[in-house]
Amino acid sequence: MKLIVLRNKLLEALAIVERAVGENSNLPILKCVYIRTDDNKIVFTATNLEMAITYTSSGKIIENGEVAIPLHLFNTIIKNISSERITLELKGKKLFIETDNYEAFVQTQEIKEFPIIPSIHNKNQNLQTNSKVLVEAIESVIIATQYSEIRPEISGVFMGIEEYGVVFAGTDSFRLAEKKVDSGFMKSTFSESIKCIIPLKTSEEVLKTLSNQEEGDVFIFIDSTQILFKTQNVEIISRLIDGNYPDYHAIIPKQTQAEAIVPRQEFLNAIRLTSSFSGRGNDITLTVGENKKYIELFSSDNALGENKYKVPIHLKGDRFTLAFNWRYLSDGFKVFKTDELIIGVNTSDRPVIIKNQTDGSLVYVAMPIKN
């Protein structure tokens, strides 16, 4: 194998695939990047056995071939090279790296030891969308998702594909986020409904990768155990989480006894400020004023002190007092982009819903802290 590649192209490829490099010291091959030539393209692949990322790049191919080399060492070398044109040549079991003023060789690993990357058997059916739409959908719900050894089925982002569109959801059992995307923005060719759970790590890598790429089309392929995200030059394939996602619809309040319309940014600032005195409990108390014109956010700690912040509101219904984990409440306000939000409340032991006044495609639900 002999290639001439541009330094910025190499760095881009390595930055994307390194997110899938394995941490298992018992399998050194998982710390390698697998590089091969394919139809005048250079293909970079890394895997941790749960997920694999493949990036296709351009370069001058003088001689076809393939090689597996330690990614961290290779990346360090390329980052510190000053020349723009880099020659990579495989001689025996050594990969030589050459520029006009630098030479090095890296010991390669056995190609046959590199894991076989799984593939989706049925590529006739898929979900097609824009990368910006997919990023927004996952971002909206991943904030409520957390890894759980006890309940692995909630350790990922739920995706359900129906005729009307696609629904995404995330929960850690203390809060829930749901985002619905209309079929006009996500076009499905699947012949039946699809439900799957995308691992949290995979969801995070999809976000990072697509956020750093130019906006474009994304094709999503799914079978019984795997999911594949494919763009023009990136493929991320991952195992799906086995199990059934909890039926969370009963948790989302259908009606509320009181609704407070609040300015989103000021309320978010109030949470951040008053949380300074919340101490280890991370709790803040929300109380509607007697005139129903404001919500007072309050937190205190015996060792620190106390503070309160009044935010103007429009209230429909009765006054209420509720306590929350301020981080969960803050996360709920972060996922929305509008100027005003509705906080829908029932009793103090029932979930609270946060939503947009005009767009019902995104809802966030949080459980109050029991006094």
d(CA 362, CA 353): 11
Map out the domains of the chain as residue ranges.
2-113, 127-248, 253-366
Q: Which fold has domain 127-248?
A: DNA Polymerase III; Chain A, domain 2 (3.10.150)
pLDDT tens readout for residues 182-224: 999 999 999 999 999 999 999 999 999 999 888 999 999 999 9
Where the chain has pLDDT below 50, the residues are none
Q: Token pair of 162, please? A: 């129906």
User: What is residue 26's predicted lDDT score, i.e. its pLDDT?
Assistant: 79
Is the four-CA dihedral 170, 174, 175, 176 of positive or negative sign? positive
d(CA 46, CA 55): 9
Q: Check: CATH 3.10.150.10 for 2-113? A: yes
d(CA 36, CA 14): 14
Where does 253-366 sit in CATH, by number?
Answer: 3.10.150.10
Same fold yes or no, 2-113 and 253-366 = yes
Q: Which of 179, 161, 281 is nearest to 220 (CA)?
A: 161
The pTM (predicted TM-score) of the whole model is: 0.93
User: What is residue 348's predicted lDDT score, i.e. its pLDDT?
Assistant: 87
d(CA 117, CA 174): 36
- How crowded is residue 215: how many other Cβ atoms within 10 Å of its Cβ? 11
- How crowded is residue 93: how many other Cβ atoms within 10 Å of its Cβ? 12
**How far from chain centre, in Å, is Cα 314?**
34
- Sequence-distant (≥ 6) Cβ neighbours of residue 266 within 8 angstroms: 311
pLDDT tens readout for residues 97-155: 999 999 999 999 999 999 999 999 888 999 999 999 999 999 999 999 999 999 999 99
User: What is residue 1's predicted lDDT score, i.e. its pLDDT?
Assistant: 96
Q: Are 177 and 141 in contact (CB under 8 A)?
A: yes
User: What is residue 27's predicted lDDT score, i.e. its pLDDT?
Assistant: 85
User: What is residue 24's predicted lDDT score, i.e. its pLDDT?
Assistant: 65
**How far from chain centre, in Å, is Cα 167?**
15
